[in-house]
Chain A
């Protein structure tokens, strides 16, 4: 382990090009040993590229890496591992049908036969678990573990290989607030043992909560280094975007009207026989935003699929405009659109647009039968392009060129295209999934304002998001989902992250009991 205070890691003049894109431009970074160092920046600012260079996935075009004062060439992950660098990727690098122990052993087997390595690993893992508070059952199958536990396996993997510089890429994206707190405790324990932690995130509250120092990236460049104690969220946000941003969403109280969508006992069982939606009932009124909070994979995606007509419910009823949808009377997305329901899907790349299609083609998907867009046989290309031009200027899509392929726009601009397509029809019901996933701060502000405007115009908005902050700042009512059920409903005005976090883990009732017991 490095001495605290001395730089554990120094990057000097790192440059990296991908074709015409200058992903990292003369990046310098110095990380002191035994500290937690945050790196913030918008999507596409170059954080991930920089860390991939450090981990050996990419080689820098120029620049130097020094580890504990020694210049080190990192040509592949094996070199990074040998230099004591460990990485916990945003998407876990685990083999789902392996046990925890086998996953930890992979690549560090300690001999041609497994038996000896397994025994040694078991002892070492037990020691690490105790030292850092990382309890996991070493014999559990990874695919059956909760997300928070899988992350611990990743941490154990890095520690087992003797990592003393640990990189975490957006580690809290899939965690409940309580799991995130637990992770931070573990990271503090690591720091206390002399491990250097590099935390990549776009969540400023995390930077403020746990880091000692923070570096800000913007458009491939390192724009600032700060001691966390000497800075504020507002300053960091401004550095990230390059201008002042509004972190709070301004909105007035909701004026809910009639019920526009009613779900009554909606149930959905998937092909493997797992109950994905478990008797979900709620009502959505005109002029309100109902937020659906929950950790990824607790039925939110299936809820959106059933409400938008993509999947039929196996049980229960859905009523939209007098049309009753149930197992015997399924619906399809085209009919739902006729009923004035619009859907901004969660997975923009897969369901919101078709990557190689030009922007003007993307903006009519699902509405291509509209006589404004199509004649008897041929599309009215000129009219569609003119229409897309209008959408692009109203929604500030950059670059405003309808002929560009959909996937050549940034995440935020893609989302604006999809949003423009869905909300310019003035739907009465708007289903929105993860509206700001992979979207930069500037565009988030814009998208949030659009959603509030829709609500004020009398649309009923159902917002599904794993970003709790987003749910809290936009919703008039909040539903919390856990294992396919709605486990709680909270009024938007008096919701707080802690209560909802407990509901997301379905621990609120137990917690209340414990509290009562103590009193």
Chain B
């Protein structure tokens, strides 16, 4: 019994760890789409952010410098998306795909040429990684059944970026629903002409939204390579940016439902890891490939059948052209 409980705690713990990049990216997507810009380049920004963070951390020996590097590169890619789609009214999907391909190729190319490790960055140790924070007394209560496990395994023992990701949810909620910026942001995604006639620059609002998006994707990338992992691996984002996009739609562009959607996808991922090599009743041992595909299959099923009508911000994907 106690062992089952511990197993469950450990699965939830893994859920939290794998949900972090999803939460950050889905919120990044939420903010830009609320401004009327579709960004399927979340994946690319996160990947480039992960590479930049690992590189900067390896060179400087500081995880914080790595984080800044990751954010910087991700914001630059976000600005590239803005330049193509806001300033030049290019197609947002095409620009997003281009950024994904660019990040995928460039990270490997630069990785090989700089470090000669087959596209990886040097392994990070010590202060070059975000280490786990232990809550006071976590070790002392670790052996206490139930509550002790809950505290020491689930709440304590994550790195600072995990806590940051969870704090981002109320922060984004507050920004979107309680501030002037949020009111203008939502209006820009629904009816940019109304924003323009109110004397507010649509272009400025959309660039600001992209900057926020870049920052969040950069943090997600840094988490992957300097927090969760210990260095950059090629294609280490593995489609998480797209799952985040799905979670954003599943959560209907609202921060709290988006959080739960991310946790659900994270949970599926964590279970998939647990199920590997486990004998299941009736089915027997499932193939690793099938288990790994499970979160993606469920993403499609959930999006197709279970979310009902998802109403996107009305102006999402449409370049704003002043007409009169």
Contact = CB atoms under 8 A, between A and B. Distances in A.
Contacts of A96: 190-191, 314
Contact of B193 (A93, A103, A111, A114): A93
A52 interface: yes
Contacts of A518: none
Given A57-B322, A113-B178, A93 B197 contact: yes
A114 B324 contact: no
* Chain B contact surface mostly: helix
Nearest to A48: B324
Interface string B147-190: 00000000000000000000000000000001111111011001
A112 interface: yes
Contact of B187 (A48, A57, A98, A113): A98
Interface string B54-97: 00000000000000000000000000000000000000000000
B179 A114 contact: yes
A106 B198 contact: yes
Nearest to A109: B180
A20 interface: no
A349 interface: no
Most chain B CB atoms below 10 A, which of A102, A109, A111 = A109
Contacts of A102: 183
Given A77-B198, A107-B199, A107-B200, A114 B191 contact: no
Contacts of A94: 191, 194
B195 interface: yes
A112 B194 CA distance: 19
Contacts of A112: 179-181
Contacts, number: 70
A77 B191 contact: no
A509 B103 CA distance: 68
Given A96-B191, A98-B186, A114-B179, A57 B324 contact: yes
B196 interface: yes
A114 B175 CA distance: 10
Contacts of A105: 183
Interface in A110-146: 111-115, 117
A95 B179 contact: no
Interface in B189-247: 190-191, 193-200
Contact of A95 (B181, B190, B196): B190
Given A58-B324, A98-B187, A107 B198 contact: yes
A87 B179 CA distance: 26
Contacts of A80: 199
Contacts of B199: 76-78, 80-81, 107
Contacts of A78: 199-200
Contacts of A111: 180
When A and B form their complex, which 8 residue pairs have the shortest distance between CB atoms, in order from nearest? A107-B198, A78-B199, A109-B180, A93-B194, A93-B197, A77-B199, A95-B190, A52-B324
Interface of B: 178-184, 186-187, 190-191, 193-200, 314, 322, 324
13 contacts: A77-B199, A97-B190, A98-B187, A103-B194, A106-B183, A106-B195, A106-B198, A107-B198, A108-B198, A113-B179, A114-B178, A114-B183, A157-B198
Given A97-B190, A114-B183, A117-B180, 8 more contacts: A58-B324, A95-B190, A98-B186, A103-B194, A106-B184, A106-B200, A112-B179, A114-B178
Interface of A: 48, 52, 55, 57-58, 76-78, 80-81, 87, 89, 93-98, 102-103, 105-109, 111-115, 117, 157
